[in-house]
Structure 1
C-alpha cells in the first residue's frame, strides 16, 4: 500500500538495551520492535566504533549504502517501499558521515575497513547474510563487500557507478593523467585529485556547506546540470574552485529546501573531512586489493544507471564488460533522462526495479 517518504532525520534518543545476536555478539536491535510502520534509528557496534542506521520493515535483510556527499537520508524513498514489499530495509551512515563514528586517521577510511563495517552491521542485526545495495561511492563499497565477503553478501545492487574489478594503473596516476596537456581537459584538475590534500576541499566547502551541496546536487541532476558545451563541473580550473562551475539557479526538482536542510545540517555538524577521506585512500585500496586483480563478482547482481550521468558514460566500457566482471548479473537498466542521484531523481522507477529484482532472487 502507499507509504509516506521518511522525513524525520532525528536519531533515536531513548536508551537502547543490548541483546545477544545470532552470532553471539551484542546487538542494539530488538527485531520485535521493528513493525515496518515507521523507520527506527539505531546505533550498532562496528570496527569504526559505532554505525548509525535507519531500519524499516521485516523479512530478508537489504543493506543500503550511500555515496558522497549524502547520508542514510538518500534512501528515504526506498525504506518504506522495501518494507512494504516484505524486506527488512536498513540504510546506514557510512563511517565518517552523519551520526556514525568518525575516526581521525585518514587511513581509517580504506575500503577494507568499510567492508568490515558492513559485515559488523549484518552481525549486529542478528543476521547471517544480506543483499547489499549501494549508490555512488556506496556502489563501490557494496561491490567490494560482495567481492570480499561472499559468505555474508548473497547479492549486490549497484546504482550509478559500474563495477570495475581491482587492478590496473595506480589511481592517482590515472587522475593526474586526465589533465594531460594533449587531452580535452588540459591544465584542469579532476575533482578526485582536488580532494586529495587534507583541508583543501574542506576550505572551499565548509564556509557555505548548504550552498556547496545545492550546487553539486544541481550540477549532476538531469534537470539542472550545465549544458554540454559548458565547462565540466568534474574539473577545476587552475587556481579555481569546484563551485565555480556549479549552476546558479533553482534546486533540482527532486530536492526540496527542507530536504537540503537535512543534508546541510549533518555536514555543518560533522564537517566534510570524514567523507573526503574516502577519496584519500584510493591508492591504499589499490595496494590492499592487489591480490584480487580482475576478480569478478559472481553473486546475483543488479545495475541501475542514468543515461545523463557521467559515471555511466565515462565508464561505458565497464558496463560492456559485465558478462565477464558480473557473470551473475540478472538485471541492468539505464534510465532515460536521469542524472546521477538515481534513487532520488526517479524514486518510483528505482523502487519498482529494485523490488522486482529482490523478489526474483533465489531464497
Structure 2
C-alpha cells in the first residue's frame, strides 16, 4: 500500500487514460492545480502532491538558501524520494501513460526528476522553470514530449536560463515545444492552452 507523505489529492484514470502529476509553485498546495489537471483531458487521472518543505510557512518541494540558490544535496534527496513516489503510482496504473506538469518550484522538481529518472514521464510541462546549473546529458529523454513556458521579463526565472534549458532538452533529442510571453512570472492563457495541447495531443 502506498503511503502518501505528500498529502496528495488524487483521482484514478479511466482505463487507458493518462495519469497526470501536477506540481504546485512555492506557497501553493495540492489544490493549486488539481482541478486544472482534471480539466486538461477528460478521463485522465490526477496526482497533485503537496511539497514537504516549509519555507517560512510556504510549501516547497526542496530547500533553497536564497532566490535561485538551491540546496543541491537536499534537491538530490528530494528528487530521489519524489521519483520513488511517482514510480509507485506508475506501477499501480501500468496501462496509463504518465504525464507531469509543474509551475515554478513545481517545474523545478519535475525537471530534476525527469533528469534523474527519464523513464517515469512520457510528457513533461515545465511552466516557468529555473535550473541554475548545467545538467549532465540524459540520452534516455530522446523522444519525450517537453513543453517549456516562460516570461522574457521574469525576475525569478531569468530568460537566459530558460533558453539554456530549452536547448538542453533539445540536445537530448526530446520533442520540445515552447510558449514564451513578454511578461514576468505570471501564467498566461496561451501557456495553459499549450499545456492542454501537450496533454491531449495524440
Q: TM-score over 0.5 for the alignment?
A: yes
**1:94 matched to 2:51:** yes
Q: Residue 73 of structure 1 aligns with which residue?
A: 31
One of 327, 345, 350 as aligned partner of 2:173? 327
Change (3 A) 1:294 1:121: closer
Residue 149 of structure 1, CA deviation: 1.4
Equivalent in the alignment of 1:52? 7
Which residue of the other structure, out of 56, 60, 84, is the alignment partner of 1:119?
A: 84
The whole-number CA distance in structure 2 between the counterparts of 1:320 and 1:118 is 22
Looking at structure 2, the residues matched to 302 and 350 of structure 1 have their Cα atoms a distance apart, in angstroms, of: 9
- The match for 2:151 is 306
In 2, are the aligned partners of 1:55 and 1:79 still within 8 Å (CA)?
Answer: no
Deviation of 1:306 (Å): 2.1
Find the counterpart in structure 1 of residue 124 from structure 2. Answer: 156
**Aligned partners of 1:82 and 1:88 also within 8 Å:** no
Counterparts in 2 of 1:303 and 1:155: CA distance versus 1, 3 Å: same
Structure 2 stretches lacking a partner, 5+ long: 62-70
Equivalent residues of 2:25, 2:106 under 8 A apart: yes
The structure whose residues are more often strand, as a share, is 2
Q: Counterpart of 2:194?
A: 353
Question: Where does structure 1 differ by over 6 angstroms across 4 or more consecutive aligned residues?
Answer: none
8 A Cα contact 2:126 2:147, kept in partner:
yes
Cα displacement (A) at 1:60: 0.5
Match of 2:100 in 1: 132
Relative to total residues, which structure has the larger helix share, 1 or 2?
A: 1
Separation (CA, whole Å) in 2 of partners of 1:324 and 1:316:
12
Measured after TM superposition, the shift of residue 163 of structure 1 is 5.0
Displacement of 1:141 in angstroms is 1.2
1:147 aligns with 2:104: no
> 5 Å matches for 1:167-206?
none
TM-score, normalised to structure 2's length? 0.70
Deviation at 1:318, TM superposition (A): 0.9
Structure 1, unpaired ranges of 5+: 1-25, 28-44, 168-292
User: How many residues in Structure 1 have an aligned counterpart in Structure 2?
Assistant: 180
Tell me by how many angstroms 1:130 deviates.
1.6
Q: In the alignment, what sits opposite 1:64? A: 22
* TM-score under structure 1 length normalisation: 0.42
